[in-house]
Amino acid sequence: MRTTCRCVVALLLVSAAGCGHTMSPAERLNDEAAIKISQGNRTDAETNLKQALEKNPNLPWAHYNLATTLQSRRAFRDAVGEYKRALELFGQGDRHARSACLYGIAATLDDQNDFGGAIKAYEAYMEFASAAPEEANGVTTARARMKILNQAITQGLPSGKPLRTPIAGVATVPPPAPGAEAAPPPVAAPAPAPPVVAPAPAKAPEPAKGKPEKPAKKKKKGGT
């Protein structure tokens, strides 16, 4: 399964904590859930999020975070519904959050191996996000996934079932770790600088070859 949770903490904690206002009980529960998701505790996070939505059904980040927890435990249909609800609640000006929702829908359908649905959802994401420089990694990943899914359809692989073997001729994109950026292509680390070799110490001059000169004899006093 491709678990693709976009910036669960880095993107989501600012939803309430960074807005400069006193958090409501629902917002506080949402932020606690985001921290638990980052720690891998999705079960308790899901409980917090459902409590948050009982207090405020129109809190978009709570719907988004709940979608990621549902996606991680393969409740795909419910996850898509939560992503769509979050998309409806985010304002038109919040393009980054809306992009995250669109990508989440596509990635969930991809996890479900709904080839046709995932391709359409990736297309919708790319159409919305392609002009945003910060979405470059997501767009690159979406394009790669669409190529893989189109190959699956061409080869007649059954939709809705896991792709147990790689599709011939197509390099798969590795899934991100839970809570990480949504499947960004790996960035090669810069090559390490070559080690600095200390110059070899200067050699002492070799003695001149040949017979060594005899020391000059001292003249005796009174000698001729």
The kind and range of the H/E element at 76 are helix 76-89
What is the pTM for the complete model shown?
0.67
The pLDDT tens digits of the residues spanning 182-196 come to 333 333 333 334 444
Q: What is the pLDDT of residue 178?
A: 35
Per CATH, domain 13-154 is 1.25.40.10: yes
Band of residue 216 on the pLDDT scale cut at 50, 70, 90: low
pLDDT tens digit sequence for 129-177: 988 888 999 999 999 999 999 999 998 887 765 554 444 433 333 333 3
Grouping H, G, I as helix, E, B as strand and the rest as coil, residue 208 is: coil
